[in-house]
Amino acid sequence: MGKDHRSLRALASLLEEYATVWQGSSPFDTLADGAETEFFQFEEDQVRVWLDVFVATLQQERLLLTSAPAAVLDHLAASQPHQVPDRAWLVMFYSVVLGTRPADEPIKAKLRSNLWLAFNDVRLLLEPTASSVQALVILACHVEEFMTPSLCWALISRACIMLQALGISPWQLDPPTRERRATSFGRLNALDQSWRLDSPTLEGRTMLFWRLNVLDQSLALILGKPPTFHREITVGMTPPTLDKLLPSQSQYPSSGAPVLFNAHYTHQMHLLSRVMSDVWHCLHGQGSDDVHTVIETVESWHRQAREVLEAAALAEKPLLGANGVDSVDLGLQMLCFHYSSLVVLLKVSSRSLRAQCIDPSQQMLRLLPRLGDMGPSLKEPYTCILWQPLQCPLTAFGTLWGEIVTKGKTQLEQNKQFLADIEHVPAFMGKLSSRNPLAAKLANITERFVQQARSILYSEGQCSQENEAQHSNPPMAFMNAMPSTNMSNASQGQDLDAQLDDLFPWADDRFFDATFDWFAWTNQELS
Protein backbone atom coordinates (compact mmCIF):
# COMPACT_ATOMS: atom_id res chain seq x y z
CA MET A 1 0.00 0.00 0.00
CA GLY A 2 3.06 2.21 -0.14
CA LYS A 3 3.83 4.88 2.39
CA ASP A 4 0.15 5.75 2.86
CA HIS A 5 0.09 8.00 5.93
CA ARG A 6 -3.62 7.72 6.57
CA SER A 7 -3.66 3.95 6.24
CA LEU A 8 -0.70 3.59 8.57
CA ARG A 9 -2.40 5.82 11.12
CA ALA A 10 -5.51 3.65 10.89
CA LEU A 11 -3.49 0.48 11.35
CA ALA A 12 -1.59 1.94 14.28
CA SER A 13 -4.90 2.83 15.90
CA LEU A 14 -6.23 -0.66 15.30
CA LEU A 15 -3.16 -2.18 16.92
CA GLU A 16 -3.58 0.14 19.88
CA GLU A 17 -7.19 -0.91 20.19
CA TYR A 18 -6.08 -4.56 20.05
CA ALA A 19 -3.70 -3.98 22.95
CA THR A 20 -6.38 -2.21 24.96
CA VAL A 21 -8.94 -4.97 24.42
CA TRP A 22 -6.52 -7.86 25.02
CA GLN A 23 -4.98 -6.38 28.15
CA GLY A 24 -8.17 -4.90 29.62
CA SER A 25 -9.95 -6.13 32.75
CA SER A 26 -13.56 -5.20 31.95
CA PRO A 27 -14.95 -8.79 31.93
CA PHE A 28 -13.63 -9.49 35.43
CA ASP A 29 -14.80 -6.09 36.63
CA THR A 30 -18.31 -7.20 35.67
CA LEU A 31 -18.04 -10.11 38.08
CA ALA A 32 -17.77 -7.70 41.00
CA ASP A 33 -20.55 -5.36 39.85
CA GLY A 34 -23.41 -5.32 42.32
CA ALA A 35 -21.79 -7.87 44.63
CA GLU A 36 -23.41 -8.08 48.07
CA THR A 37 -21.90 -8.71 51.48
CA GLU A 38 -24.16 -11.70 52.19
CA PHE A 39 -24.74 -14.88 50.19
CA PHE A 40 -27.91 -15.13 48.15
CA GLN A 41 -30.10 -18.19 48.69
CA PHE A 42 -31.83 -20.17 45.95
CA GLU A 43 -34.79 -22.52 45.58
CA GLU A 44 -34.06 -26.07 46.69
CA ASP A 45 -35.11 -27.64 43.38
CA GLN A 46 -32.77 -25.35 41.45
CA VAL A 47 -29.87 -26.05 43.81
CA ARG A 48 -30.38 -29.81 43.40
CA VAL A 49 -29.98 -29.50 39.64
CA TRP A 50 -26.82 -27.46 40.10
CA LEU A 51 -25.42 -29.96 42.60
CA ASP A 52 -25.87 -32.78 40.09
CA VAL A 53 -23.87 -30.77 37.54
CA PHE A 54 -21.23 -29.95 40.17
CA VAL A 55 -20.77 -33.57 41.26
CA ALA A 56 -20.56 -34.74 37.64
CA THR A 57 -18.02 -32.04 36.79
CA LEU A 58 -15.74 -32.99 39.68
CA GLN A 59 -15.76 -36.59 38.47
CA GLN A 60 -15.13 -35.63 34.85
CA GLU A 61 -12.31 -33.20 35.64
CA ARG A 62 -10.53 -35.80 37.79
CA LEU A 63 -8.30 -33.32 39.57
CA LEU A 64 -7.13 -33.72 43.17
CA LEU A 65 -10.61 -33.97 44.63
CA THR A 66 -13.20 -35.90 42.63
CA SER A 67 -15.99 -35.46 45.17
CA ALA A 68 -17.02 -32.87 47.73
CA PRO A 69 -17.37 -33.68 51.44
CA ALA A 70 -20.88 -34.74 52.42
CA ALA A 71 -21.19 -31.81 54.83
CA VAL A 72 -20.40 -29.35 52.02
CA LEU A 73 -23.04 -30.90 49.76
CA ASP A 74 -25.59 -30.80 52.58
CA HIS A 75 -24.96 -27.10 53.29
CA LEU A 76 -25.20 -26.28 49.59
CA ALA A 77 -28.40 -28.31 49.20
CA ALA A 78 -29.91 -26.42 52.13
CA SER A 79 -28.82 -23.13 50.51
CA GLN A 80 -26.58 -22.31 53.47
CA PRO A 81 -23.25 -21.47 51.83
CA HIS A 82 -22.20 -19.41 54.84
CA GLN A 83 -21.98 -22.68 56.80
CA VAL A 84 -19.25 -24.06 54.52
CA PRO A 85 -15.94 -23.39 56.32
CA ASP A 86 -13.68 -23.88 53.29
CA ARG A 87 -14.53 -21.16 50.78
CA ALA A 88 -12.68 -23.07 48.06
CA TRP A 89 -15.67 -25.40 47.71
CA LEU A 90 -17.96 -22.43 47.21
CA VAL A 91 -15.65 -21.05 44.52
CA MET A 92 -15.73 -24.41 42.75
CA PHE A 93 -19.51 -24.75 43.03
CA TYR A 94 -20.42 -21.27 41.80
CA SER A 95 -17.76 -21.42 39.07
CA VAL A 96 -19.21 -24.65 37.67
CA VAL A 97 -22.77 -23.29 37.83
CA LEU A 98 -21.81 -20.04 36.10
CA GLY A 99 -19.94 -22.12 33.53
CA THR A 100 -23.29 -23.56 32.41
CA ARG A 101 -24.21 -19.99 31.35
CA PRO A 102 -27.67 -19.74 32.97
CA ALA A 103 -30.09 -17.69 30.89
CA ASP A 104 -31.96 -16.08 33.80
CA GLU A 105 -30.15 -12.77 34.34
CA PRO A 106 -31.36 -12.13 37.95
CA ILE A 107 -30.20 -15.62 38.97
CA LYS A 108 -26.95 -15.10 37.11
CA ALA A 109 -26.34 -11.82 38.95
CA LYS A 110 -26.86 -13.56 42.29
CA LEU A 111 -24.48 -16.35 41.32
CA ARG A 112 -21.87 -13.75 40.34
CA SER A 113 -22.27 -12.06 43.70
CA ASN A 114 -21.93 -15.35 45.58
CA LEU A 115 -18.81 -16.29 43.61
CA TRP A 116 -17.24 -12.91 44.26
CA LEU A 117 -18.01 -13.17 47.97
CA ALA A 118 -16.63 -16.72 48.15
CA PHE A 119 -13.45 -15.71 46.34
CA ASN A 120 -12.97 -12.72 48.63
CA ASP A 121 -10.86 -14.79 51.02
CA VAL A 122 -7.11 -14.29 50.91
CA ARG A 123 -6.50 -17.83 52.16
CA LEU A 124 -7.42 -19.10 48.69
CA LEU A 125 -4.26 -17.49 47.33
CA LEU A 126 -1.96 -18.03 50.30
CA GLU A 127 -2.66 -21.43 51.82
CA PRO A 128 -1.43 -24.32 49.64
CA THR A 129 -4.25 -26.81 50.11
CA ALA A 130 -5.68 -29.30 47.66
CA SER A 131 -9.05 -27.55 47.65
CA SER A 132 -7.52 -24.12 47.02
CA VAL A 133 -5.44 -25.34 44.08
CA GLN A 134 -8.45 -27.05 42.55
CA ALA A 135 -10.65 -23.98 43.10
CA LEU A 136 -8.21 -21.76 41.20
CA VAL A 137 -8.10 -24.18 38.26
CA ILE A 138 -11.88 -24.51 38.04
CA LEU A 139 -12.35 -20.75 38.37
CA ALA A 140 -9.88 -20.08 35.54
CA CYS A 141 -11.35 -22.70 33.19
CA HIS A 142 -15.09 -22.58 33.83
CA VAL A 143 -15.94 -18.92 34.43
CA GLU A 144 -14.96 -17.94 30.88
CA GLU A 145 -17.42 -15.08 30.55
CA PHE A 146 -15.72 -13.07 33.31
CA MET A 147 -12.10 -14.04 32.73
CA THR A 148 -9.31 -12.07 31.09
CA PRO A 149 -6.05 -13.51 29.69
CA SER A 150 -3.92 -11.88 32.39
CA LEU A 151 -6.22 -12.93 35.21
CA CYS A 152 -6.34 -16.50 33.92
CA TRP A 153 -2.53 -16.53 33.80
CA ALA A 154 -2.35 -15.20 37.37
CA LEU A 155 -4.74 -17.86 38.68
CA ILE A 156 -3.01 -20.74 36.91
CA SER A 157 0.44 -19.52 37.94
CA ARG A 158 -0.70 -19.35 41.55
CA ALA A 159 -2.12 -22.86 41.33
CA CYS A 160 1.21 -24.12 39.95
CA ILE A 161 3.13 -22.51 42.80
CA MET A 162 0.78 -23.92 45.42
CA LEU A 163 0.99 -27.42 43.94
CA GLN A 164 4.78 -27.21 44.09
CA ALA A 165 4.47 -26.15 47.73
CA LEU A 166 2.31 -29.20 48.44
CA GLY A 167 4.77 -31.47 46.65
CA ILE A 168 4.36 -33.05 43.25
CA SER A 169 6.51 -36.16 43.57
CA PRO A 170 8.42 -37.99 46.30
CA TRP A 171 11.43 -36.01 47.42
CA GLN A 172 14.62 -37.93 46.67
CA LEU A 173 18.07 -37.29 48.07
CA ASP A 174 21.20 -38.03 46.12
CA PRO A 175 23.10 -41.07 47.53
CA PRO A 176 25.95 -39.11 49.21
CA THR A 177 23.49 -36.88 51.04
CA ARG A 178 21.36 -39.85 52.08
CA GLU A 179 24.40 -41.67 53.47
CA ARG A 180 25.69 -38.59 55.30
CA ARG A 181 22.35 -37.89 56.94
CA ALA A 182 21.86 -41.54 57.82
CA THR A 183 25.27 -41.61 59.51
CA SER A 184 24.67 -38.33 61.33
CA PHE A 185 21.14 -38.94 62.54
CA GLY A 186 20.80 -42.70 62.35
CA ARG A 187 17.25 -42.44 61.04
CA LEU A 188 17.37 -43.01 57.31
CA ASN A 189 14.12 -44.97 57.34
CA ALA A 190 12.30 -42.22 59.17
CA LEU A 191 13.70 -39.68 56.71
CA ASP A 192 12.48 -41.74 53.77
CA GLN A 193 9.02 -42.16 55.27
CA SER A 194 8.59 -38.45 56.08
CA TRP A 195 8.90 -37.50 52.40
CA ARG A 196 6.99 -40.40 50.89
CA LEU A 197 3.58 -39.67 49.36
CA ASP A 198 0.95 -42.39 49.52
CA SER A 199 -0.13 -43.77 46.14
CA PRO A 200 -3.55 -42.06 45.87
CA THR A 201 -2.06 -38.67 46.79
CA LEU A 202 0.84 -39.11 44.37
CA GLU A 203 -1.51 -40.19 41.59
CA GLY A 204 -3.83 -37.22 42.14
CA ARG A 205 -1.03 -34.67 42.27
CA THR A 206 0.60 -36.14 39.17
CA MET A 207 -2.69 -35.91 37.29
CA LEU A 208 -3.15 -32.30 38.37
CA PHE A 209 0.44 -31.43 37.52
CA TRP A 210 0.01 -32.49 33.91
CA ARG A 211 -3.30 -30.69 33.66
CA LEU A 212 -1.66 -27.53 35.02
CA ASN A 213 1.35 -27.98 32.77
CA VAL A 214 -0.91 -27.89 29.70
CA LEU A 215 -2.54 -24.67 30.93
CA ASP A 216 0.75 -23.14 32.08
CA GLN A 217 2.59 -23.76 28.81
CA SER A 218 -0.40 -22.63 26.74
CA LEU A 219 -0.67 -19.32 28.58
CA ALA A 220 3.09 -18.81 28.41
CA LEU A 221 2.96 -19.02 24.61
CA ILE A 222 -0.18 -16.90 24.34
CA LEU A 223 1.06 -14.08 26.58
CA GLY A 224 4.80 -14.38 26.01
CA LYS A 225 5.42 -14.85 29.74
CA PRO A 226 7.74 -17.40 31.35
CA PRO A 227 5.97 -20.64 32.32
CA THR A 228 5.74 -21.33 36.04
CA PHE A 229 6.79 -24.97 35.66
CA HIS A 230 10.32 -25.32 34.34
CA ARG A 231 10.55 -27.93 31.61
CA GLU A 232 13.15 -29.89 33.58
CA ILE A 233 10.39 -30.80 36.05
CA THR A 234 8.78 -33.02 33.42
CA VAL A 235 12.01 -34.92 32.74
CA GLY A 236 11.63 -37.09 35.81
CA MET A 237 7.84 -37.32 35.65
CA THR A 238 6.00 -39.79 33.46
CA PRO A 239 2.54 -38.72 32.25
CA PRO A 240 -0.35 -40.79 33.62
CA THR A 241 -0.79 -44.02 31.70
CA LEU A 242 -3.96 -44.82 29.79
CA ASP A 243 -5.34 -47.07 32.55
CA LYS A 244 -5.07 -44.12 34.96
CA LEU A 245 -6.85 -41.82 32.52
CA LEU A 246 -9.76 -44.17 31.85
CA PRO A 247 -12.61 -43.61 34.33
CA SER A 248 -13.67 -46.36 36.67
CA GLN A 249 -16.97 -48.12 36.04
CA SER A 250 -18.69 -45.91 38.63
CA GLN A 251 -17.42 -42.78 36.89
CA TYR A 252 -18.44 -43.67 33.33
CA PRO A 253 -20.36 -40.76 31.82
CA SER A 254 -24.08 -41.32 31.41
CA SER A 255 -24.26 -38.78 28.58
CA GLY A 256 -22.79 -41.16 26.00
CA ALA A 257 -19.57 -39.17 25.73
CA PRO A 258 -16.53 -40.94 24.27
CA VAL A 259 -14.39 -42.65 26.89
CA LEU A 260 -11.48 -44.35 25.11
CA PHE A 261 -10.97 -41.44 22.72
CA ASN A 262 -11.05 -38.88 25.54
CA ALA A 263 -8.45 -40.83 27.54
CA HIS A 264 -6.11 -40.97 24.54
CA TYR A 265 -6.76 -37.28 23.80
CA THR A 266 -5.88 -36.32 27.38
CA HIS A 267 -2.64 -38.30 27.14
CA GLN A 268 -1.73 -36.52 23.90
CA MET A 269 -2.38 -33.13 25.53
CA HIS A 270 0.01 -34.08 28.33
CA LEU A 271 2.66 -34.93 25.73
CA LEU A 272 1.85 -31.70 23.89
CA SER A 273 2.65 -29.70 27.02
CA ARG A 274 6.24 -30.94 26.77
CA VAL A 275 6.34 -29.90 23.13
CA MET A 276 4.94 -26.46 23.96
CA SER A 277 7.67 -26.03 26.55
CA ASP A 278 10.27 -26.68 23.85
CA VAL A 279 8.53 -24.17 21.59
CA TRP A 280 8.57 -21.51 24.31
CA HIS A 281 12.28 -22.01 24.95
CA CYS A 282 12.95 -21.86 21.21
CA LEU A 283 11.19 -18.49 21.02
CA HIS A 284 12.18 -16.92 24.33
CA GLY A 285 14.93 -18.97 25.98
CA GLN A 286 18.45 -17.61 26.40
CA GLY A 287 20.06 -20.71 24.94
CA SER A 288 17.38 -20.92 22.29
CA ASP A 289 16.75 -24.36 20.85
CA ASP A 290 17.21 -24.82 17.12
CA VAL A 291 13.93 -23.99 15.40
CA HIS A 292 14.32 -26.79 12.84
CA THR A 293 14.75 -29.34 15.63
CA VAL A 294 11.71 -28.05 17.49
CA ILE A 295 9.58 -28.12 14.33
CA GLU A 296 10.59 -31.75 13.85
CA THR A 297 9.52 -32.41 17.45
CA VAL A 298 6.13 -30.80 16.80
CA GLU A 299 5.62 -32.78 13.60
CA SER A 300 6.67 -36.03 15.25
CA TRP A 301 4.18 -35.47 18.08
CA HIS A 302 1.42 -34.68 15.59
CA ARG A 303 2.04 -37.78 13.48
CA GLN A 304 1.90 -40.09 16.47
CA ALA A 305 -1.06 -38.31 18.06
CA ARG A 306 -3.05 -38.41 14.84
CA GLU A 307 -2.41 -42.13 14.36
CA VAL A 308 -3.45 -42.93 17.93
CA LEU A 309 -6.54 -40.72 17.96
CA GLU A 310 -7.77 -41.79 14.54
CA ALA A 311 -7.47 -45.42 15.62
CA ALA A 312 -9.34 -44.68 18.87
CA ALA A 313 -12.02 -42.82 16.92
CA LEU A 314 -12.42 -45.70 14.49
CA ALA A 315 -12.87 -48.14 17.37
CA GLU A 316 -15.30 -46.07 19.45
CA LYS A 317 -17.43 -44.14 16.96
CA PRO A 318 -19.72 -47.11 16.14
CA LEU A 319 -20.66 -47.26 19.85
CA LEU A 320 -21.54 -43.56 20.18
CA GLY A 321 -24.59 -41.46 19.50
CA ALA A 322 -24.59 -38.38 17.30
CA ASN A 323 -23.26 -36.06 20.01
CA GLY A 324 -20.50 -38.49 20.91
CA VAL A 325 -19.41 -38.77 17.28
CA ASP A 326 -19.41 -34.98 16.94
CA SER A 327 -17.31 -34.71 20.11
CA VAL A 328 -14.73 -37.08 18.62
CA ASP A 329 -14.67 -35.06 15.39
CA LEU A 330 -14.17 -31.88 17.41
CA GLY A 331 -11.21 -33.48 19.18
CA LEU A 332 -9.60 -34.41 15.86
CA GLN A 333 -10.14 -30.88 14.56
CA MET A 334 -8.61 -29.39 17.71
CA LEU A 335 -5.60 -31.66 17.31
CA CYS A 336 -4.98 -30.10 13.88
CA PHE A 337 -5.60 -26.66 15.36
CA HIS A 338 -2.95 -27.09 18.07
CA TYR A 339 -0.45 -28.49 15.58
CA SER A 340 -0.98 -25.75 13.00
CA SER A 341 -0.74 -22.97 15.58
CA LEU A 342 2.67 -24.19 16.79
CA VAL A 343 4.04 -24.66 13.27
CA VAL A 344 2.91 -21.17 12.22
CA LEU A 345 4.36 -19.66 15.38
CA LEU A 346 7.76 -21.30 14.88
CA LYS A 347 8.06 -20.53 11.17
CA VAL A 348 6.97 -16.93 11.59
CA SER A 349 9.63 -16.46 14.26
CA SER A 350 12.43 -17.63 11.95
CA ARG A 351 13.64 -15.39 9.14
CA SER A 352 14.84 -18.41 7.17
CA LEU A 353 11.48 -20.20 7.47
CA ARG A 354 9.13 -17.25 7.30
CA ALA A 355 8.37 -17.77 3.62
CA GLN A 356 7.14 -21.28 4.49
CA CYS A 357 4.45 -20.15 6.91
CA ILE A 358 1.88 -19.28 4.22
CA ASP A 359 0.52 -22.81 3.70
CA PRO A 360 0.18 -23.72 7.41
CA SER A 361 -1.44 -20.32 8.02
CA GLN A 362 -4.04 -21.05 5.35
CA GLN A 363 -4.60 -24.55 6.68
CA MET A 364 -5.15 -23.22 10.18
CA LEU A 365 -7.61 -20.51 9.18
CA ARG A 366 -9.58 -22.98 7.06
CA LEU A 367 -10.24 -25.02 10.20
CA LEU A 368 -12.11 -22.14 11.80
CA PRO A 369 -15.51 -22.38 10.05
CA ARG A 370 -16.04 -25.95 11.19
CA LEU A 371 -14.66 -25.30 14.68
CA GLY A 372 -16.95 -22.31 14.99
CA ASP A 373 -19.99 -24.39 14.03
CA MET A 374 -19.07 -27.25 16.37
CA GLY A 375 -17.74 -25.35 19.37
CA PRO A 376 -20.81 -23.72 21.00
CA SER A 377 -22.82 -26.94 21.33
CA LEU A 378 -20.01 -29.39 22.10
CA LYS A 379 -17.55 -29.87 24.91
CA GLU A 380 -13.96 -30.44 23.89
CA PRO A 381 -12.54 -33.77 25.13
CA TYR A 382 -10.02 -31.86 27.23
CA THR A 383 -11.20 -28.61 28.80
CA CYS A 384 -9.36 -25.88 26.92
CA ILE A 385 -8.92 -22.28 27.99
CA LEU A 386 -10.75 -19.85 25.74
CA TRP A 387 -7.62 -17.83 24.97
CA GLN A 388 -6.18 -20.54 22.72
CA PRO A 389 -8.92 -20.35 20.06
CA LEU A 390 -9.04 -16.57 20.47
CA GLN A 391 -5.34 -15.82 20.17
CA CYS A 392 -3.75 -18.64 18.17
CA PRO A 393 -5.40 -17.76 14.82
CA LEU A 394 -4.05 -14.21 15.01
CA THR A 395 -0.51 -15.16 14.00
CA ALA A 396 -1.82 -16.87 10.86
CA PHE A 397 -4.19 -13.95 10.32
CA GLY A 398 -1.32 -11.47 10.55
CA THR A 399 0.80 -13.52 8.17
CA LEU A 400 -1.77 -13.53 5.36
CA TRP A 401 -2.94 -9.99 6.06
CA GLY A 402 0.66 -8.79 5.80
CA GLU A 403 1.01 -10.52 2.43
CA ILE A 404 -2.01 -8.62 1.17
CA VAL A 405 -1.02 -5.16 2.36
CA THR A 406 2.62 -5.45 1.27
CA LYS A 407 2.04 -7.01 -2.17
CA GLY A 408 -1.39 -5.62 -2.96
CA LYS A 409 -2.46 -6.13 -6.57
CA THR A 410 0.90 -7.41 -7.76
CA GLN A 411 -0.30 -10.94 -6.86
CA LEU A 412 -4.01 -10.28 -7.08
CA GLU A 413 -5.42 -13.79 -7.44
CA GLN A 414 -3.29 -15.20 -4.65
CA ASN A 415 -4.13 -12.29 -2.37
CA LYS A 416 -7.84 -12.74 -3.07
CA GLN A 417 -7.50 -16.26 -1.70
CA PHE A 418 -5.63 -14.90 1.32
CA LEU A 419 -8.47 -12.44 1.82
CA ALA A 420 -11.01 -15.27 1.76
CA ASP A 421 -8.95 -17.08 4.40
CA ILE A 422 -8.61 -14.14 6.81
CA GLU A 423 -12.35 -13.46 6.50
CA HIS A 424 -12.86 -16.64 8.55
CA VAL A 425 -11.29 -15.00 11.62
CA PRO A 426 -13.86 -12.30 12.50
CA ALA A 427 -16.67 -14.78 11.79
CA PHE A 428 -15.03 -17.32 14.12
CA MET A 429 -14.48 -14.71 16.84
CA GLY A 430 -18.11 -13.70 16.57
CA LYS A 431 -19.25 -17.26 17.24
CA LEU A 432 -17.20 -17.26 20.45
CA SER A 433 -18.66 -13.97 21.66
CA SER A 434 -21.24 -15.74 23.85
CA ARG A 435 -18.36 -17.14 25.91
CA ASN A 436 -16.55 -13.87 26.60
CA PRO A 437 -17.10 -10.22 25.55
CA LEU A 438 -13.47 -10.03 24.45
CA ALA A 439 -14.34 -12.29 21.50
CA ALA A 440 -16.92 -9.81 20.21
CA LYS A 441 -14.42 -6.96 20.42
CA LEU A 442 -11.77 -8.96 18.61
CA ALA A 443 -14.31 -9.90 15.95
CA ASN A 444 -15.01 -6.21 15.37
CA ILE A 445 -11.35 -5.24 15.18
CA THR A 446 -10.28 -8.12 12.92
CA GLU A 447 -13.20 -7.31 10.63
CA ARG A 448 -11.80 -3.81 10.23
CA PHE A 449 -8.38 -5.26 9.40
CA VAL A 450 -10.14 -7.36 6.76
CA GLN A 451 -11.87 -4.25 5.42
CA GLN A 452 -8.48 -2.55 5.16
CA ALA A 453 -7.10 -5.47 3.14
CA ARG A 454 -10.22 -5.60 0.99
CA SER A 455 -9.94 -1.89 0.17
CA ILE A 456 -6.38 -2.45 -1.07
CA LEU A 457 -7.33 -5.31 -3.40
CA TYR A 458 -10.55 -3.89 -4.76
CA SER A 459 -9.82 -0.15 -4.99
CA GLU A 460 -9.89 1.27 -8.53
CA GLY A 461 -6.44 2.77 -8.16
CA GLN A 462 -5.63 6.45 -8.03
CA CYS A 463 -7.13 7.47 -11.35
CA SER A 464 -9.82 9.45 -9.58
CA GLN A 465 -9.77 11.49 -6.43
CA GLU A 466 -12.74 9.60 -5.00
CA ASN A 467 -11.10 6.21 -5.38
CA GLU A 468 -7.82 7.56 -4.03
CA ALA A 469 -9.58 8.74 -0.91
CA GLN A 470 -11.30 5.37 -0.56
CA HIS A 471 -7.92 3.63 -0.79
CA SER A 472 -6.30 5.94 1.74
CA ASN A 473 -9.13 5.67 4.26
CA PRO A 474 -10.24 2.19 5.29
CA PRO A 475 -13.90 1.39 4.59
CA MET A 476 -16.57 1.80 7.25
CA ALA A 477 -16.58 4.63 9.72
CA PHE A 478 -14.00 3.14 12.07
CA MET A 479 -11.50 5.91 11.31
CA ASN A 480 -13.71 8.35 13.16
CA ALA A 481 -14.16 5.99 16.09
CA MET A 482 -10.48 5.20 16.60
CA PRO A 483 -8.84 6.04 19.93
CA SER A 484 -6.29 8.79 19.57
CA THR A 485 -2.59 7.93 19.30
CA ASN A 486 0.61 9.91 19.28
CA MET A 487 0.85 9.11 15.60
CA SER A 488 -2.50 10.72 14.80
CA ASN A 489 -1.23 13.95 16.36
CA ALA A 490 2.07 13.95 14.49
CA SER A 491 2.80 16.84 12.19
CA GLN A 492 2.85 16.39 8.43
CA GLY A 493 6.20 16.65 6.67
CA GLN A 494 9.67 15.47 7.48
CA ASP A 495 8.95 14.46 11.09
CA LEU A 496 6.10 12.20 10.02
CA ASP A 497 8.09 10.81 7.11
CA ALA A 498 10.95 10.01 9.47
CA GLN A 499 8.58 8.19 11.82
CA LEU A 500 7.05 6.23 8.97
CA ASP A 501 10.48 5.32 7.60
CA ASP A 502 11.18 3.72 10.97
CA LEU A 503 7.81 1.99 11.13
CA PHE A 504 7.47 0.84 7.54
CA PRO A 505 9.69 -2.29 7.79
CA TRP A 506 7.24 -3.79 10.30
CA ALA A 507 5.21 -5.51 7.60
CA ASP A 508 8.19 -7.60 6.54
CA ASP A 509 9.85 -8.03 9.91
CA ARG A 510 8.58 -7.39 13.38
CA PHE A 511 4.87 -7.78 12.68
CA PHE A 512 5.56 -11.40 11.80
CA ASP A 513 8.05 -12.04 14.59
CA ALA A 514 6.31 -14.37 17.04
CA THR A 515 8.61 -13.22 19.83
CA PHE A 516 7.23 -9.70 19.45
CA ASP A 517 3.97 -8.74 21.18
CA TRP A 518 2.14 -7.20 18.27
CA PHE A 519 -0.87 -6.46 20.48
CA ALA A 520 1.26 -3.93 22.34
CA TRP A 521 3.23 -2.77 19.28
CA THR A 522 1.70 0.69 19.27
CA ASN A 523 2.39 1.29 22.95
CA GLN A 524 6.09 0.55 22.47
CA GLU A 525 6.69 2.14 19.08
CA LEU A 526 4.52 5.24 19.19
CA SER A 527 4.98 6.39 22.77
Instruction: Encode pLDDT of 484-527 as tens digits.
Output: 333 333 334 444 344 434 443 444 443 444 444 434 433 343 34
Confidence of residue 137 (pLDDT cuts 50, 70, 90): very high
Task: Look up residue 351 and give its DSSP letter.
Answer: T
Q: Long-range CB contacts (< 8 A, 24+ apart) of 3-7? A: 3/497, 3/500, 3/504, 4/471, 4/472, 5/492, 5/496, 5/500, 6/472, 6/473, 6/479, 7/452, 7/471, 7/472, 7/473, 7/474
Q: Please state, in angstroms and rounded to a whole number, the distance separating the CA atoms of residues 50 and 250.
A: 20
Is 472 within a domain? Answer: no
* Residue 320 near residue 253 (C-beta atoms within 8 A): no
Is 131 within a domain? Answer: yes
Residue 379 has pLDDT above 50, yes or no: yes
CA trace torsion 66, 67, 68, 73 (10° rounding): 150
How open is the CA angle 444-447-451, to the nearest 5 degrees?
Answer: 140
For residues 398-424, average pLDDT: 91
What is the radius of gyration, based on Cα positions, of the chain?
A: 26
Higher pLDDT, 465 or 145: 145
Give every CB contact of residue 79 below 8 A, 6+ residues apart in sequence. 41, 42, 43, 44, 47
Predicted confidence (pLDDT) per residue in 361-375, tens digit = 999 999 999 998 876
Q: Which domain holds residue 57?
A: 27-147
Has this prediction a pTM greater than 0.85? no
Predicted confidence (pLDDT) per residue in 76-92, tens digit = 999 999 999 999 999 99
Is 175 within a domain? Answer: no
Give me the number of domains the chain comprises. Answer: 1
Res 183: pLDDT: 55
Is 278 within a domain? Answer: no
Q: Please state, in angstroms and rounded to a whole number, the distance separating the CA atoms of residues 355 and 508.
A: 11
Q: Quick count: other Cβ atoms within 10 Å of Cβ 24?
A: 16
Higher pLDDT, 118 or 12: 118
Higher pLDDT, 175 or 420: 420
Is 218 within a domain? Answer: no
Is 230 within a domain? Answer: no
| 32: nearest Cα among 114, 135, 144, 99 | 114
Is 235 within a domain? Answer: no
* Residue 390 near residue 439 (C-beta atoms within 8 A): yes
Q: Please state, in angstroms and rounded to a whole number, the distance separating the CA atoms of residues 277 and 226.
A: 10
Res 465: pLDDT: 39
Is 1 within a domain? Answer: no
